[in-house]
Amino acid sequence: MKKVAAAALIAAIAAPLAAQEQMTRTSCQESYQRAADLVSPNDATVGLQIQFTRVTPDGWCQFLGTDPGFDTAPFASFDWRLEDSARWTRDGVPPLAVEVRIDGFTPEDTPPNGQTAIPSLSIEATLRQDPDAGMVILERAVVTNDFGDVLSVSGVFERVFLSSPSMMQVSMGSATFKAGLLSMTLGGEIENPFGFRGEVNVTGTPKSQSEAAFDAITRLPDGLMNDASRAELMAFSADLPKPVGTLEVSVASERGLGLMQVGSAMYSGFTSVMDEGTMSNEMEIMFDGLTVDANWSPAAQVAD
């Protein structure tokens, strides 16, 4: 039921985007220059990269990984477009919406010994803001790989005000997470199918990952999820390291989860669990008012 509520919230807020403007080569170059000035102001290759900016027939800005200046780029193509790009290029505040699509993305990390190399990924994402409501909505972020695995994420963030640089600074302390949905459809061909950075070091039987996941789930505080959802996560964990099926997880925060408190709480919680085997007070406070709903649907051949 909570998953339905979270989905309804995201669907209600994520109204269809206004007709996207057709990006021009000039608006593409100006928007990229503005981003480069913030991220890498002294990068000498930016001027070269901008020269090779192109516009696709459907009005997206595009770079290719084979373009000069992108010799080490981990993608085959990178496309983007903005809604109300003048907000960004002229006023220096985020546009109303950003859409991105990336093909042939290859994670840089080398897989551990014995694991299959991570396949190239395709990524599509739409991020939109509602200035009047002070919301940022991740309408969709979809990652697929060559094996047919699919990861989909959406979410709503409140108290985010991006009308000026000063308001953006304020939002760094006020932004909260309200609701989110995650879905993974996995074929079980490889471990870590989406190239997530970092790894949990486990030893022993092939089911060591399952055992580690079981342990983590049992440490989650009561009230975070009902028994049915906890059982679903346990069933998913039992199929690690190469589950086959679809996992759906929804998360909702009654009061809004402050993003600034998440980092410190997670660090304190991780340290507490590792050192003492117990959940820290910071983690319990962070989880208070947070609800999780999960559903694991194994593929037919696995269920049989």
Considering the domain architecture, whether residues 58 and 28 belong to the same structural domain is answered as: yes
What is the pLDDT at residue 141? 97
Considering the domain architecture, whether residues 172 and 220 belong to the same structural domain is answered as: yes
Considering the domain architecture, whether residues 79 and 8 belong to the same structural domain is answered as: no
Considering the domain architecture, whether residues 127 and 202 belong to the same structural domain is answered as: yes
Sheet containing 121-130: which strands, arranged edge to edge? 54-55, 61-64, 77-83, 97-105, 121-130, 135-145, 150-158, 176-186, 245-258, 290-298
Considering the domain architecture, whether residues 171 and 284 belong to the same structural domain is answered as: yes
d(CA 258, CA 265): 11
d(CA 118, CA 147): 10
Considering the domain architecture, whether residues 192 and 237 belong to the same structural domain is answered as: yes
Considering the domain architecture, whether residues 186 and 65 belong to the same structural domain is answered as: no
Instruction: Select from 60, 95, 130 the last residue of a domain.
Output: 95
Considering the domain architecture, whether residues 198 and 263 belong to the same structural domain is answered as: yes
Q: What is the pLDDT along the chain (304 residues), one digit of tens a residue?
A: 455 555 555 555 555 544 566 899 999 999 999 999 988 888 889 999 999 999 999 999 999 999 999 988 999 999 999 999 999 999 989 999 999 999 999 876 555 545 556 789 999 999 999 999 999 999 999 999 999 999 999 999 999 998 888 888 878 788 899 999 999 999 998 888 888 764 444 444 557 888 888 988 988 888 899 999 999 999 999 998 899 999 999 999 988 888 776 655 555 555 555 455 555 566 676 777 899 999 999 997 544 4
Domain that holds residue 9: 2-18+96-303
What is the pLDDT at residue 203? 46
Q: Which 8-state DSSP code applies to residue 205?
A: S
What residue has token string 């953006």?
A: 168
What is the pLDDT at residue 304? 45
What is the pLDDT at residue 243? 93
Considering the domain architecture, whether residues 146 and 179 belong to the same structural domain is answered as: yes
Instruction: Select from 78, 95, 112 the last residue of a domain.
Output: 95
Q: In this structure, how many other beta carbons lie within 10 angstroms of the beta carbon of residue 120?
A: 18
What is the pLDDT at residue 303? 47
d(CA 166, CA 1): 39
Considering the domain architecture, whether residues 87 and 112 belong to the same structural domain is answered as: no
Query: Is the sign of the CA dihedral 254, 255, 261, 263 positive or negative?
Result: positive
Considering the domain architecture, whether residues 145 and 244 belong to the same structural domain is answered as: yes
Instruction: Select from 53, 76, 95 the last residue of a domain.
Output: 95
Instruction: Evaluate whether 55 touches 23 at the Cβ level (below 8 Å).
Output: yes
Between the alpha carbon of residue 249 and those of residues 3, 66, 105, 222, the distances in Å are 7, 38, 25, 17
Query: How many domains is the chain built from?
Result: 2
User: Between vectors from CA 198 to CA 186 and to CA 174, what angle results, nearest 5°?
Assistant: 95
Considering the domain architecture, whether residues 111 and 173 belong to the same structural domain is answered as: yes
